[in-house]
C-alpha cells in the first residue's frame, strides 16, 4: 500500500509531464512539495488526502479540472491499462443513455432536450440523432445543460453542428500539449437527423454546468446561434485525462486548451456568462416566456 507521500509524488509526476501549461506545472510542483515537506498530508485518510491536495493545487493554479479524486472502485495501476479514463467514461455514457436524460414537447410546440453529459461523437451519434429527430418539427428548441457535467470535445462539436446549415463553420480549436498540435473543430458534414438551423435555440445553464456542457453553451453563444439563459457556469475549459496514482486515487490532468474562433479565448476560470442571467431554477420559465412572446 502506498504512503500519502508516494501518492502525491506520483500525482506530481503526472502533472509535471502532462499539464497543458508547463510553466504553471513547475509552480504547482514546487508548492505541493513544500506542503509535503511540512507534513501537510500526514495521517489523512484517502478522501481527505484528495480533498486537501485538490484545495492546495487550486490555490496555486485555479484550474477546476486539476484534481485528486477518490474512487471506491479499485483502479488498475498497470501502465498498459492506463487509457486516461476513456474506458470508464464510455461505460458511464452507455449506462446513462449517452448523456441524454429526456426529450419533451412543451407548450407552443417547443422542443426540450435535457443533456447531462456530452457523449463521444463515435458512440453518441445515434442517441444524439434520435433526440434531434424527436424535436425536428418543433417551432423552437430548449437545450437544457443545467446539470451537464462535461464530456467529449468531438461530441460537443456534433451537438453544435445541428444548429448550423452546413459543414463550413469553424467552431473552435484545441491545442494539445503532448503532441504540440492544434486540432480544428468544424461543423460535421453528415448527421443522422435533420439540422435545426432555421429556428430559435435557447440553452439553459447553471453554476453546475461544466466542461463539455460549457463548450456547447459557449460555442453556440459565441457564434450567435443560441441565447443562453440561467446561471454563470463553473469555468472548466481544458480537456483532461484521468490517471490512477493509487488503487483508489486518480489525478485529473488538463492536457489541452480550447480556443474559440470568434472570441479567441475560452471560458476557463470565468464560466459562460448567460445572455439572460436568472437563477438556474427559473431558466426554463424565462426561456419559454421569451419564446412564446415572440
Q: What is the pLDDT of residues 184-232, one digit of tens each?
A: 999 999 999 999 999 999 999 999 999 999 999 999 999 999 999 999 9
pLDDT in tens, 11-61: 999 999 999 999 999 999 999 999 999 999 999 999 999 999 999 999 999
Cell of 162: 445541428
pTM of the complete model: 0.91
Which domains, from first to last, does the chain contain?
4-81 (no CATH), 96-236+271-293 (3.90.226.10)
Q: Which residues of 149-172 are buried (b: 16+ CB within 10 A; e: fewer)?
A: bbbbbbbbbbbbbbbbeeeebebb
Task: Compute CA distances 199 → 47, 127, 141, whole Å.
Answer: 47, 21, 8
75: Cα separation from own chain's centroid: 22
Q: What pLDDT was estimated at residue 234?
A: 96
Which residues in 234-266 are b (16+ Cβ under 10 Å) and which e?
A: bbbbbbbbbbbbbebbbbbbbbbbbebbeeeeb
Mention every residue, 6+ apart, whose C-beta is less than 8 A from residue 275: 221, 227, 228, 229
The strand ranges marked E within 13-164 are: 67-70, 100-106, 110-115, 140-144
- Report the pLDDT averaged over residues 259-272: 96
Amino acid at each position: 500500500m502506498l504512503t500519502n507521500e508516494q501518492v502525491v509524488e506520483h500525482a506530481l509526476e503526472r502533472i509535471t509531464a502532462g499539464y497543458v501549461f508547463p510553466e504553471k506545472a513547475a509552480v504547482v510542483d514546487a508548492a505541493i512539495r513544500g506542503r509535503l515537506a511540512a507534513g501537510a498530508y500526514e495521517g489523512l485518510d484517502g478522501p481527505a488526502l484528495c480533498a486537501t491536495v485538490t484545495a492546495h493545487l487550486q490555490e496555486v493554479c485555479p484550474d477546476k479540472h486539476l484534481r485528486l479524486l477518490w474512487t471506491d472502485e479499485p483502479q488498475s495501476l498497470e501502465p498498459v491499462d492506463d487509457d486516461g479514463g476513456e474506458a470508464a467514461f464510455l461505460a458511464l455514457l452507455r449506462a446513462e443513455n449517452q448523456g441524454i436524460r429526456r426529450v419533451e414537447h412543451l407548450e407552443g410546440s417547443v422542443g426540450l432536450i435535457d443533456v447531462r453529459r456530452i457523449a463521444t461523437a463515435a458512440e453518441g451519434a445515434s442517441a444524439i440523432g434520435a433526440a434531434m429527430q424527436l424535436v425536428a418539427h418543433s417551432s423552437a428548441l430548449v437545450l437544457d445543460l443545467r446539470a451537464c457535467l462535461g464530456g467529449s470535445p468531438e461530441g460537443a462539436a456534433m451537438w453544435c453542428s445541428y444548429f448550423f446549415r452546413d459543414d463550413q463553420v469553424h467552431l473552435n480549436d484545441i491545442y494539445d500539449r503532448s503532441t504540440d498540435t492544434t486540432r480544428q473543430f468544424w461543423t460535421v458534414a453528415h448527421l443522422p437527423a435533420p439540422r435545426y438551423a432555421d429556428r430559435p435555440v435557447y440553452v439553459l445553464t447553471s453554476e453546475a454546468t461544466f466542461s463539455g456542457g460549457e463548450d456547447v453553451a459557449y460555442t453556440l453563444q459565441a457564434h450567435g446561434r443560441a441565447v443562453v439563459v440561467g446561471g454563470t457556469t463553473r469555468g472548466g475549459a481544458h480537456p483532461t485525462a484521468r490517471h490512477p496514482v493509487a488503487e483508489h486515487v486518480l489525478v485529473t490532468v488538463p492536457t489541452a486548451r480550447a480556443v474559440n474562433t470568434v472570441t479567441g479565448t475560452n471560458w476557463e476560470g470565468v464560466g459562460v456568462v448567460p445572455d439572460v442571467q436568472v437563477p438556474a431554477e427559473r431558466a426554463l420559465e424565462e426561456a419559454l416566456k421569451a419564446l412564446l412572446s415572440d
